[in-house]
């Protein structure tokens, strides 16, 4: 079956509005739209522009796919990654939609044949990279076609303030001039207020409806831990997620390779991914991650954008990300299916210095560097938040509300020591830093505070300072924690050009003058054992959208679910597509619970549209019937 445009009414008329419901049900197999989708679709059907900021897993793609099929003609979708384009096209084709992509992974003959079908009106949705779309030849050719809609996916890439700014995207600002009467939609999961304004100005010249659905991902448990023994902490975290798929982010390519090998040596099915690998190896590892269960991808930030694997159960950062936006985007790979997932970050003082250096070394204006430092400050405030991490995160994105209760689901809500007044300890640390000349790192300052008499302390005469030994009876680990929190809180500054020396900021000077206080949170002991049974349950579970936990199935249903997953894997391998493109886990869970016995019943399963009914009903019904015997 192929899906063609219908003549059910011009854009903005009631017929077109009703047609979107038919497309949703018959093509995509969904009974109703998710929150926020209808408003965006109606704006586009009315011929207006929209910028949609929606959390990962909220169904952004349907916001342009449904109107594309209602409007008819050709929809152009701009997407940043070949893998993302190919996966979305494969999913649409299985749903019976005439979708294609022209990209560098295809040979010239194949691209030419696809373009012939586009020019003949045989393609409804065409995916292109910005580099390919914005060539003079392509723009001239497209201008002769009946383009009805333009969609820019991962739209934060167009903004200089976005976490993944790509200069190639900047040229898309010409689309408004080239296609003045065509509605356009820009979509992203990651855009703070500054980035949203920048996208709207660059892409729409300010003329667009802006929809911000919300940034809360209540199904993801949030946690942060200070690095003590990061490899041991990582293994303990992964031990809680045995048999599950997840992502471990590392800052460098070398660390990525070494971490993947270390995990493999410890019995974990881990694969590396970074931009320095050969393309065939990188693509092969990504394909395995997408197609197989219980694979851990160890990666740099080169991995992630557009990864649409719904059953990623965890994301672990072994190093500090670059900003709150980047962190939100990266941990957002987890829990796209709405089921419970976990995001954990490990960070240390060295990470802060490294990130500051990256910002200073980055090409760009002073204004941009100042903004990036502010963004990093916000992430550090999240790391050292005195209470509920979810409240801190949502406040950053403009959704904070002090009247809302704590989430009861993050590490701070579940098991965090209360902040204590450490003003007197801060003064001791600041005095030591001042007396040593504000040029030494944390390790030396702690040695001075604890009265060490090693060679370096004696060499500089720091054993004769008033602050020498003034830090007792606190222990070394506590002082390192206090110094880290003084840096994160802006009381201390790091020397980025030297060797990470600590200097007192104006806020720190205010503490010394008695004009400001300092509260800190003692670091919890590293958790190397599994958490107690029931840990992590909270009032946010009720807000987990569309989660269909397998735990609700009977033992007999779970046996069928396992068989359904095996059949899905066979079918996906035969078609060369990720397993979720055939059916996602929610569809299989629905099948296992309801056990349809006819095509009519199978058609009512979540995610079964007309095309998938025709392609897959026989195979799945036969397996279900066999299991029912």
Q: Express each pLDDT in 443-488 by its tens digit.
A: 899 999 999 999 999 999 999 999 999 999 989 988 988 998 888 8
Question: Cα 521 to chain center, whole Å?
Answer: 28
Q: pTM (2 decimals)?
A: 0.74
* pLDDT of the residue at 524: 67
Q: Which residues of the chain carry a pLDDT beneath 50?
A: 1-12, 529-549, 551
How many CB atoms within 10 Å of residue 335? 27
* pLDDT of the residue at 537: 39
* pLDDT of the residue at 187: 93
DSSP secondary structure code for residue 97 in this structure = B
Assess contact for 135 and 160: CB atoms under 8 A.
Answer: no
Q: Express each pLDDT in 100-153 by its tens digit.
A: 999 988 999 999 999 999 999 999 999 999 999 999 999 999 999 999 999 999
Radius of gyration over every alpha carbon of the chain, rounded to an integer in angstroms = 27
* pLDDT of the residue at 527: 56
The string of DSSP letters for 271-285 reads: EEE-TTS-HHHHHHH
Length of the chain measured in residues: 629
Domains annotated on the chain, with CATH: 14-212 (3.40.50.300), 220-415 (3.40.50.300), 420-520 (1.10.10.10), 550-628 (1.10.150.80)
Backbone angles phi and psi of 500, in degrees to 5: 80, 25
* pLDDT of the residue at 536: 40
Number of helices (H), then strands (E), in the chain: 28, 17
Q: Which residues contact 209 (CB under 8 A, 6 or more apart)?
A: 43, 48, 49, 50, 51
* pLDDT of the residue at 264: 95
For 167, counting Cβ atoms within 10 Å of its Cβ (0-12 exposed, 13-18 middle, 19+ buried), the class is exposed
* pLDDT of the residue at 71: 96
| Spatial CA neighbour of 581 closest among 89, 244, 22 | 89
Give CA–CA dist 32/35, Å, rounded: 9
Q: Which residues contact 152 (CB under 8 A, 6 or more apart)?
A: 78, 158, 169, 172, 184, 185, 186, 187, 203
Q: Which residues contact 354 (CB under 8 A, 6 or more apart)?
A: 251, 319, 320
* pLDDT of the residue at 544: 36
* pLDDT of the residue at 95: 93
């Amino acid at each position: 079956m192929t899906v063609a445009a219908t003549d059910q009414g011009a854009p903005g008329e009631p017929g077109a509005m009703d047609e979107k419901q038919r497309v949703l049900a018959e093509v995509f197999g969904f009974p109703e739209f998710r929150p926020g989708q209808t408003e965006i679709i109606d704006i586009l059907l009315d011929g207006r522009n929209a910028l949609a900021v929606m959390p990962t897993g909220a169904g952004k793609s349907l916001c342009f796919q449904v109107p594309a099929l209602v409007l008819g003609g050709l929809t152009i979708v701009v997407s940043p990654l070949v893998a993302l384009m190919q996966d979305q096209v494969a999913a649409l084709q299985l749903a019976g939609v005439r979708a294609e992509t022209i990209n560098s992974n295809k040979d010239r003959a194949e691209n030419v044949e696809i373009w012939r079908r586009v020019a003949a009106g045989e393609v409804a949705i065409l995916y292109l990279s910005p580099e390919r779309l914005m060539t003079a030849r392509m723009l001239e050719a497209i201008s002769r076609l009946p383009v009805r809609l333009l969609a820019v996916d991962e739209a934060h890439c167009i903004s200089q303030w976005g976490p993944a700014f790509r200069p190639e995207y900047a040229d898309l600002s010409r689309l408004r001039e080239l296609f003045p009467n065509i509605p356009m939609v820009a979509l992203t999961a990651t855009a703070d207020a500054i980035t949203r304004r920048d996208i709207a100005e660059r892409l729409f010249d300010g003329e667009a409806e802006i929809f911000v659905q919300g940034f809360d991902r209540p199904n993801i448990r949030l946690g942060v831990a200070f690095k003590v023994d990061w490899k041991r902490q990582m293994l303990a975290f992964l031990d809680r997620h045995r048999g599950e798929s997840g992502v471990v982010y590392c800052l460098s390519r070398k660390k990525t390779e070494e971490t993947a090998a270390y995990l493999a040596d410890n019995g974990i099915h881990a694969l590396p991914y970074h931009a320095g690998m050969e393309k065939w190896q990188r693509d092969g590892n990504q394909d395995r991650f997408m197609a197989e269960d219980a694979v851990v991808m160890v990666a740099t930030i080169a991995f992630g954008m557009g990864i649409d694997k719904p059953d990623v159960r965890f994301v672990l950062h072994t190093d500090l990300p670059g900003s709150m936006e980047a962190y939100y985007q990266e941990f957002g790979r987890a829990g796209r299916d709405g089921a419970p997932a976990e995001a954990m970050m490990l960070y240390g003082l060295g990470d802060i210095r490294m990130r500051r250096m990256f910002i200073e070394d980055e090409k760009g204006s002073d204004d941009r560097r100042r903004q990036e430092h502010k963004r990093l400050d916000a992430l550090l405030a999240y790391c050292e938040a005195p209470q509920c991490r979810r409240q801190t995160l949502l406040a950053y994105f403009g959704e904070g509300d002090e009247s809302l209760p704590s989430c009861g689901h993050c590490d701070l809500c579940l098991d965090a020591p209360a902040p204590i007044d450490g003003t007197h300890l801060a003064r001791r640390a600041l005095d030591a830093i001042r007396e040593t000349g504000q040029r030494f790192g944390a390790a030396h300052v702690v040695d001075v505070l604890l009265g060490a008499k090693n060679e370096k302390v004696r060499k500089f005469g720091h054993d004769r300072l008033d602050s020498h030994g003034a830090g007792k009876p606190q222990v070394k680990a506590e002082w390192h924690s206090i110094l880290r929190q003084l840096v994160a809180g802006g009381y201390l500054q790091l020397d980025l050009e030297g060797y990470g020396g600590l200097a007192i900021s104006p806020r720190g000077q205010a503490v010394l003058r008695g004009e400001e206080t300092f509260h800190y949170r003692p670091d919890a002991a590293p958790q190397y054992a599994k958490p107690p049974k029931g840990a992590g349950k909270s009032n946010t579970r009720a807000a987990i959208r569309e989660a269909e936990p397998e735990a609700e199935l009977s033992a007999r249903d779970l046996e069928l679910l396992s068989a359904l997953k095996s059949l899905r894997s066979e079918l996906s391998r035969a078609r060369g597509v990720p397993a979720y493109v055939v059916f996602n886990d929610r569809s299989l869970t629905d099948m296992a619970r309801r056990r349809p016995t006819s095509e009519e019943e199978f058609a009512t399963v979540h995610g079964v549209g007309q095309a998938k009914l025709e392609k897959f009903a026989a195979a799945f019904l036969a397996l279900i019937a066999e299991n029912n015997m």
